[in-house]
Amino acid sequence: MVEKKATTKTAAKKSAAKKAPVAKKALAAKKDVLYLNAENAGFRAGDVYQALAASEKALTVAEIAKAAKISTEDVILGIGWLFKEGKIKDEDNKVALA
């Protein structure tokens, strides 16, 4: 009988390339763009007027923005339009229909 020699095969070791950690990039916050033109100002004035008419009381800028579902900048744009037309008035730092 022939004896078999025990041979050990050495597996080729694969060296895994270490990956450098990828730095996370900070994403810039998405800014709302406020379009300043007469048409947009008129629409925002309508939104503000409808919110004030629906509430039937004086509201703050934040309350108007929440009721009309528009930004505070849009509310201020609409308020300026309505003040110019004399449709609203100031009551204790709140805005009410005139």
Within 10 Å of residue 18's Cβ, how many Cβ atoms? 6
In order of their start, the domains of the chain are 38-97 (1.10.10.10)
Express each pLDDT in 69-81 by its tens digit. Answer: 999 999 999 999 9
User: For residue 5, which amino acid is it?
Assistant: K
Express each pLDDT in 45-94 by its tens digit. Answer: 999 999 999 999 999 999 999 999 999 999 999 999 999 999 999 999 99
Containing 90, the helix (H) or strand (E) segment is: strand 88-91
- Judge if pTM exceeds 0.85: no
